[in-house]
Chain A
C-alpha cells in the first residue's frame, strides 16, 4: 500500500462536461504525478508537481490542468472532456527526497467519455 487513494475510481461522463479527478496521499511526499494509460501506449505523463502550487506539464498535457493547494492532494481537471480522454488515469508519488526516486502508483481511475 503506497498510501495513495484516487477518487472516483470509475466515472462515465459526456463530451463537453468538466471532470476533476483527485489524488490523495497520506505521507506528505513532495513529488506527485498524473499519468494516463492507453492500450498500445504504456503510461504517459500528463502533469507533475514538485510542491504546493508548483506544477509543470508532461508529455500529454493538452486538455488537462492540475492544482495542488495542499501537500496531500493533487487534482487533475479536464475542462471539457472529449472522447480521446477516455483512459485509465494513475496518480503516482515519489517517496524519496529526489524526484528521480522510485514512483509508487495509486489504484487508478477509469474514465469513460461518451
Chain B
C-alpha cells in the first residue's frame, strides 16, 4: 500500500521568510505532483516532477524530487501573504490500469504580514 506523508501539517510563518514542506512516500512511483488548494476551492496543479533530481520553479515556489530517498520538497522563498493555502503532494502508484493519485494529508500554510 502506497503511503504519502507530508510535514508539517500546519505552518504559520511571517512574510519574507523561507520555509520547506516535505513529502515522503513509501513505494517507487513514476511521478509526483504538487497541488494548491484555497479555502472552499478546488485543487490547482502547481508542479509535476518526473525523474530523480527534477527541479521545478514558479515564482517563489520551488519543488524538487529525490526518488532514491522517496522525498519531495516544496520550498517557499521570501513568503508573501498570497501564498497562504493548503498544499498537497500526490504520488501515482503504478499498479496498472488507470492510476489514481495517493495524496498526503496536506500542509495548511498561513503567512502572516
Contacts and interface: CB of A to CB of B under 8 A. Distances in A.
Please classify how large the interface on chain A is, using the bins under 10, 10 to 19, 20 to 34, 35 or more: 20 to 34
Contacts of A48: 97-98, 100
A100 B97 contact: no
A50 B42 contact: no
B25 interface: no
A111 B32 CA distance: 29
A104 B99 CA distance: 14
Contacts, number: 59
Interface residues of B, number: 24
Contacts of B105: 40-42
Contacts of B100: 33, 35, 45, 48, 58-59
B77 interface: no
Nearest to B94: A100
Interface of B: 4, 30-31, 33, 35, 41-43, 45, 48, 88, 90, 92, 94, 97-106
